[in-house]
Amino acid sequence: MSDLFNEKAKDWDVNEMVLQLSTSISSAILKNIQVNNEMQVMDFGAGTGLITSRISPHVKHVVAVDISEAMLKELSSKSELKNNVEVVCQNIIEQSLDQKFDLIMSAMAMHHVKDTDLLFQRFAEHLKPGAKVALADLDSEDGSFHPADIEGVYHDGFDRNQLKNVMKKQGFEDIKFVTALTVDKEVKSYPVFLVTATKK
């Protein structure tokens, strides 16, 4: 499978919208999840580590998971992430990690996964009982957020109630949504949610 982010990786961290998203989402995670220095965390779709870099100082260990080698190469080059961040280039939908986590966090990665039910099944399998998720993505939109010819985008955002039902089905409870930020583009505005939940 080709690396869809190969060309984007080198300029990713200077993209104004990407920085706005990562700053607001990581702030929302820290506001809505009680993190501590004993926590083992997975960053799903970690990219260049913009969320990881803000969360890792508050937890014990982060496993940064992505399928883009180019993005993870950028993450690996950041000296401040050497201490407690492990990089794994793997598709956890197809091949699970041999590890359980206290928290799975993710920013703008879920719309790149075709089967949302299976994704939440995998999240549940990778969590300890009572562990949490903190996942950010777009609210349902008309498909204008991404360029029309983009590859690897399977969802035009998510309906909060439908996503809540998927999460309940896969054994999550205490499901809460907040709006982490709204991205303003020339054509319109796009709300981005953070959903938090606990594995039963």
Which tens digit of pLDDT belongs to each residue from 92-102? Answer: 999 999 999 99
Token pair listed for 42: 């997975």
Token pair listed for 188: 């319109």
Using 50, 70 and 90 to split pLDDT, how confident is the model at 1?
Answer: very low
Q: How far apart (Å, rounded) are the C-alpha atoms in residues 198 and 174?
A: 6
pLDDT of residue 3: 47
Each domain of the chain, given as residue ranges in start order, spans 9-29+40-199
Token pair listed for 22: 């990562």
pLDDT of residue 182: 96
Percentage of the chain lying above the pLDDT 70 cut: 94
Q: What angle do CA 40, 42, 45 make, to 5 degrees?
A: 165
Is the pLDDT confidence value at 143 over 60? yes
Task: Give residue-wise pLDDT tens across range 6-64.
Answer: 666 777 667 788 899 999 999 999 999 999 999 999 999 999 999 999 999 999 999 99
Picking from 126, 127, 93, 99, the residue whose alpha carbon sits closest to that of residue 112 is 93
Q: Which architecture characterizes domain 9-29+40-199 according to CATH?
A: 3-Layer(aba) Sandwich (3.40)
Minimum mean pLDDT among 128-137, 143-152, 166-175: which range?
143-152
Minimum mean pLDDT among 131-135, 144-148, 181-185: which range?
144-148
Q: Is 1 exposed, middle or buried (0-12, 13-18, 19+ CB in 10 A)?
A: exposed
Look at residue 96 and give its three-state secondary structure.
coil
Using 50, 70 and 90 to split pLDDT, how confident is the model at 2?
Answer: low
pLDDT of residue 187: 78
